[in-house]
Amino acid sequence: MAVGNSPFPVMPPLAGVRLGSAMAGIKKPGRRDMVVIELPASATVSGVFTRNAFCAAPVSVAKAHIERCREQGQAPRYWLINTGNANAGTGKQGLHDAYASCKAVAEQAGVAEHQVLPFSTGVIGEPLPMERLLAGITPALASGADNSQAWQHAGEGILTTDTRAKGASVTTKVSDGSVTINGITKGSGMIKPNMATMLGFVVTDAAIEQSLLDRLLRETVEASFNCITVDSDTSTNDACMLAATGTGAAIEDDEDIAVFRDALQQVMTSLAQAIIRDGEGATKFVTLQVDDAESRQEALDVAFTVAHSPLVKTALYASDANWGRILAAVGRAPVADFDVDRIVIDLADVRLVEEGGRAAGYTEAAGSAVMAQDEITIRISLGRGQESATVWTSDLSHDYVSINADYRS
């Protein structure tokens, strides 16, 4: 199940970027489960990673390799991604396997080991099936191409319980010509990122120096992947990567930075929302907009408290205009000295709550009409300040339980 149509977009080729994939039998036979993304030597690369204390072996290795590349003044040249196995909770063996995977790619591609970054997603705690993974590297490298289909195959090759590949592409004009940003992402459960999402891989042909690229990634992730939640569970493997290949226009002056930032935010937000639209068992795509908070953190706290409430999520699933549950969730948010008389809650354009209780003009019919829709906006004004936050979430359905009672993640 998924909310809305999201056909995979056409992805323009990016010079020097090739995407290969293979069916290595890691997840199950007959489906793409390994992806190799090749970047040119001119690329600059930034990454943000999970804050889960039990971070997976590939997260540790990717961070170490990025560090090493920076020390050596070399570009990370290959992103090696497998699904079907997260290589998390696997201790020393897991680290050994992640390093060995990078080494195998490096040898076949003729780059240094630290120029290969590993990413894994799937079941936690099982050792990586190294024989099958290593056997998949040759065909994955050999299939490398820069066309839109290669991007789509890569998008398919990183999925776990996702029902569809997720991509976004924006081309925008800057002073020195135009730049393109292509991205793919995966994730539909264990989604409450903290610092990054499940897996996101974004590449632009723009030329952007390292510290600016780092900042742009951090800022755009903050308002996209860090503002979505399916089930409040942060994964051990979350990572979002951004590469600027430098083959296209340079992004240097303030105006170009602003234009590029907007385009990048558009790609990031579109990818993040695609995860929620494909949330496990999702039948609704819900936007929580909290306004008039004292701080952005306060606005986020309220939004996530409502977004995580199983009772709100089941009411959304039932298309039940159960505003009492929204009110109860807002009321238990970790905010000191709430003045409930100042809180206003709207369901789309229908006022639910004001002056501490049900809004005078509210009718069940009006509320139900909104709740029957697939895409719903809940707007909560706290009446305390000027800050806002927007969070996206899905509902809690029978299918969510089925998927997670059946699937070993």
Closer of 255 and 355 to a copy of itself (Cβ): 355
Interacting span for a copy of itself (CB under 8 A) from 27-35, 110-118, 120-128, 208-216: 120-128
Contact flag: residue 351 with a copy of itself (CB under 8 A): no
Euclidean distance between CA atoms 268 and 170, whole angstroms: 10
Select the residue interacting with a copy of itself from 72, 149, 194, 210 (CB under 8 A): 194
* Overall residue count recorded for the chain in this entry: 409
**Two structure tokens written together for 52:** 């889960």
Residue of 247, 289, 322, 377 interacting with a copy of itself (CB under 8 A) = 322
280 is in an annotated binding site: yes
C-alpha distance from residue 118 to each of 135, 230, 366, 405 (Å)? 16, 25, 50, 29
| Distances, alpha carbon 157 to alpha carbons 122, 130, 160, 187, 250, in Å | 12, 17, 9, 12, 31
Q: Which amino acid is at 296?
A: R
Contact 244, 71 (CB under 8 A): no
Quick one: which segment of 152-160, 162-170, 335-343, 371-379 binds a copy of itself (CB under 8 A)? 335-343
Among 27, 114, 308, 351, binds a copy of itself (CB under 8 A): 308
Nearer to a copy of itself, 158 or 352 (CB): 352
Are 94 and 57 contacting, i.e. CB atoms less than 8 angstroms apart? yes
Check residue 335 for interaction with a copy of itself (CB under 8 A). yes
E-assigned strand segments in 285-331:
285-293
Other CB atoms within a 10 A radius of the CB of residue 246 amount to 22
Q: Note whether 363 binds a copy of itself by CB under 8 A.
A: no
Strands 350-354 and 344-347, by their bridges, are: antiparallel
**E strand or H helix at 268:** helix 254-277
Rounded to whole angstroms, the Cα distance separating 335 from 298 reads 7
Set 180, 197, 390, 393: catalytic member:
197
Determine if 328 is a binding residue for a copy of itself (CB under 8 A).
yes
Query: Nearest distance from residue 35's CB to a copy of itself, in Å?
Result: 22
Tell me which stretch binds a copy of itself (CB under 8 A): 178-186, 251-259, 267-275, 316-324.
316-324
Does position 146 interact with a copy of itself (CB under 8 A)? The reply is no
The yes or no reply on residue 356 touching a copy of itself (CB under 8 A) is yes
Q: Does 304 interact with a copy of itself (rule: CB under 8 A)? A: no
What's the number of CA atoms in the CB half-sphere (13 Å) around residue 377?
Answer: 12
355 binds a copy of itself (CB under 8 A): yes
Told to judge if 305 belongs to the known catalytic residues of this protein, a careful annotator would answer: no
**Could you give the C-alpha distances from 390 to 226, 302, 354, in angstroms and in order?**
10, 10, 21
Give the range of 32-40, 75-83, 151-159, 334-342 binding a copy of itself by CB under 8 A. Answer: 334-342
Site for a copy of itself, rule CB under 8 A? 51-55, 86, 88-94, 123-125, 189-190, 192, 194, 231-236, 308-311, 314-315, 317-318, 320, 322-325, 327-333, 335, 338, 340, 353, 355-358, 396-398, 400-402, 404-406, 408-409
Residue ranges of the binding site for substrate: 160, 186, 197, 280, 404, 409
Residues annotated as catalytic are: 197
